Amino acid sequence: MSDIQVSPHANDFAACIRGVNLRAALCQTDAERIRALWLRYQVLYFPDQALTHHQLERFTETFGAYGHDPFVTAMSGHRHILEVRREPEEDVVPFGSSWHSDWSFQAAPPSATILHSKVIPPIGGGTHFADGIRALATLPVELRRAIHGRCAIHSARRPYSHAGYRAGGRRTSMKIVPSDDAWQTQSHPIIRAHPESGRDALWINPVYTIAIDDMDPSESADLLARLFQHMLQAEFIYKHCWEENMLVMWDNRSVMHCAQGGYAGHRRVMHRTTVAGTVPIRPEEFS
Q: Which amino acid is at 82?
A: L
User: What is d(CA 41, CA 8) in angstroms, rounded to the nearest whole number?
Assistant: 8
Buried b (16+ CB within 10 A) or exposed e, 197-236: bebbbbbbbbbbbbbbeebeeeebeebbeebbebbbeeeb
Residue 96 has pLDDT above 90, yes or no: no
Comparing CA positions, the residue from 257, 256, 247 lying closest to residue 62 is 247
Query: Does 14 map to a domain?
Result: yes
Candidates 158, 234, 233, 220; CA nearest to 190 is 220
pLDDT at 188 over 90: yes
pLDDT of residue 109: 98
The number of domains in the chain is 1
In a domain, 200, yes or no: yes
pTM of the shown model: 0.96
**Which DSSP string do the residues of 199-234 spell out, in sequence order?**
-EEE---TTTEEEETTS-HHHHHHHHHHHHHHHT-G
Residue 113, Cβ neighbours under 10 Å: how many? 23
pLDDT(236) > 80 = yes
- pLDDT at position 168, please? 63
At residue 175 the predicted structure's pLDDT band, cuts being 50, 70 and 90, is confident
Residue 166: pLDDT band with limits 50, 70, 90? confident
Task: Tell me how far apart the alpha carbons of residues 49 and 60 are, in angstroms, rounded to a whole number.
Answer: 14
- 179: helix, strand or coil: coil
pLDDT of the residue at 164: 82
Quick check: is 254 in a domain?
yes
For residue 31, give its domain range.
Answer: 5-276
> Does the pLDDT value for residue 160 go beyond 90?
yes
| CATH number, position 227 | 3.60.130.10
For the ranges 41-55, 168-182, 199-213, 265-279, the lowest mean pLDDT is seen at 168-182
Distance in angstroms (rounded) separating the CA atoms of residues 231 and 224: 10
Please report which confidence band the pLDDT of residue 126 belongs to, taking 50, 70 and 90 as the band edges.
very high
Residue 10: per-residue pLDDT: 96
What pLDDT is attached to residue 173? 65
pLDDT band at residue 264, thresholds of 50, 70 and 90?
A: very high
Would residue 286 count as lying in a domain? Answer: no
In a domain, 148, yes or no: yes
Burial status of residue 142 (CB atoms within 10 A of its CB: 0-12, 13-18, 19 or more)? exposed
At residue 149, does pLDDT exceed 70?
Answer: yes
Q: Any bridge partners for residue 251, and if so which?
A: 112
Q: How far apart are CA 95 and CA 216, in angstroms?
A: 32
Residue 268, in any domain of the structure: yes
Whether residue 135 is contained in a domain is answered as yes
Q: Is residue 282 one of the residues assigned to a domain?
A: no
